[in-house]
Amino acid sequence: AQSVTQLGSHVSVSEGALVLLRCNYSSSVPPYLFWYVQYPNQGLQLLLKYTSAATLVKGINGFEAEFKKSETSFHLTKPSAHMSDAAEYFCAVSDRVGDDKIIFGKGTRLHILP
Amino acid sequence: KAGVTQTPRYLIKTRGQQVTLSCSPISGHRSVSWYQQTPGQGLQFLFEYFSETQRNKGNFPGRFSGRQFSNSRSEMNVSTLELGDSALYLCASSNHTTGRREQYFGPGTRLTVT
């Protein structure tokens, strides 16, 4: 069965510093992987997705993620944090076959320190 | 294209009452999923509808039900409300026919049960 683990429910970084949010997945076959962001009182917005075309995926707002099959990881990074990046981030996994069911991680709240 | 819309955005109900939430997917999307989001449990999958049929169901009691209409609009119903049903209810649509598995979320309905 698929599952997603996000390490750290809260992460704090200084403005301008590197952002690294960790995600590990469990799936019997290489899956689809997603990162979503949720700003306060809003729904989830797709940041980026991995569908096997390239292991390094670039998303919106300067974020990118690298699929590492050997480590079953899909960590999210951004070279320089901005105050507007403060939000909750969710990693999600979906199998390549069958239905559209997506399993979400528990989320990581990113705090940006001035 | 217009995004996913949910109505109402906010709702206050009393224990024992029932509630109906509405979701209009992105035009052309035939799959609609519902999620419950709470601080303690995170994002939990309720159910998914595709072409008016429930395709997936999460682990929620029978008080939670849904349906989808021929125009892909979906409703979810919660009967005999409990305090623990207070949550943000999110609807997401996806374009299953193209194999794209990312989901696009609405802003959510904030339900408060008193």
Per-residue pLDDT tens for B54-66? 988 889 999 999 9
Contact B90 A34 (CB under 8 A): no
Contact A100 B50 (CB under 8 A): yes
* pLDDT above 70 for B97: no
Contact A94 B94 (CB under 8 A): no
If you average pLDDT over every residue of chain B, what do you get? 92
Q: DSSP code of B49?
A: E
Q: DSSP code of B80?
A: S
Contact B105 A99 (CB under 8 A): no
First to last CA, chain B: 37
* pLDDT above 60 for B100: no
Predicted local confidence at residue A54, as pLDDT: 83
Residue ranges of chain A with per-residue pLDDT less than 70: 1, 28, 96-100
Of A41, A42, A94, the CB nearest to B101: A94
Predicted local confidence at residue A98, as pLDDT: 61
The secondary structure of chain A, three-state, reads: CCEEEEECCEEEEECCCCEEEEEEEECCCCCEEEEEEECCCCCEEEEEEECCCCCEEECHHHCEEEEEHHHCEEEEEECCCCHHHCEEEEEEEECCCCCCCCEECCCEEEEEEC
First to last CA, chain A: 41
Selected residue of A46, A93, A94, A102 to mutate for chain B interface (largest B Cβ count, 10 A): A102
CB A57 within 8 A of CB A48: yes
* pLDDT above 70 for B98: no
Q: What is the least distance, in Å, from the CA of A64 to any CA of chain B?
A: 16
Predicted local confidence at residue B73, as pLDDT: 97
Predicted local confidence at residue A99, as pLDDT: 62
In sequence order, which residues have a C-beta less than 8 Å from that of residue B1 and are 6 or more positions away? B26, B27, B28
Most confident of B34-43, B84-93, B95-104: B84-93
At residue B23's C-alpha, the angle toward residues B18 and B27, to 5°, is 165
Residues of A in contact with B42 (CB under 8 A): 104-107
Q: How far apart are CA A104 and CA A91, in angstroms?
A: 6
Reported as a single tens digit per residue, the pLDDT across B14-55 is 999 999 999 999 999 999 999 999 988 889 999 999 889 998
Backbone angles phi, psi at A60, to 5 degrees: -85, 165
Predicted local confidence at residue A101, as pLDDT: 73
Give the strand order in the sheet containing B74-78.
B5-7, B19-24, B74-78, B64-68
A32 in contact with B, Cβ within 8 Å = yes
Contact A43 B50 (CB under 8 A): no
3-class secondary-structure state, position B85: helix
Q: How far apart are CA A84 and CA A112, in angstroms?
A: 8
Mean pLDDT of B73-77: 98
